[in-house]
Amino acid sequence: MQRRVVICFRLNCAHCHADDARGDEGPDLHDLHRSDARIHEVITAGIKGEMPSFGKKLGDPDVRRLIAYLRTLHRLNRSRRFVQNLLQKTACAAAVQCSSHTHS
């Protein structure tokens, strides 16, 4: 099911929002601070002059799956940031350790 929704996203959304939803012509879709209902509305009704409506093309279950998919991106994004922070901190700690061992 996950693969299906990824394909659905790539076919319908990726040419504007990029394959990884990082944004291209359309905005980055990670960290969406909108309710499911609002996102549902945006996808089915579109945004005049900006984004086509998918209400006729995608059924309600597909739209719901897309929203769930965008939510997983959000979570992935957060854990990625967490790991990056952690790496940065450990790299920093390692650098401090290294410099304290040099005798210059």
Residues at the interface with ligand HEC (CB under 6 A): 12-13, 15-17, 25-27, 29, 32, 34, 39, 42-43, 47, 50-52, 54, 66
CB 84 within 8 A of CB 76: no
Q: Which is nearer to ligand HEC, 38 or 80 (CB)?
A: 38
Q: Which is nearer to ligand HEC, 2 or 90 (CB)?
A: 2
Least Å from the CB of residue 7 to ligand HEC: 12
Least Å from the CB of residue 40 to ligand HEC: 9
- Cβ neighbours, 10 Å, residue 29: 22
N-terminal to C-terminal alpha carbon distance within the chain: 58
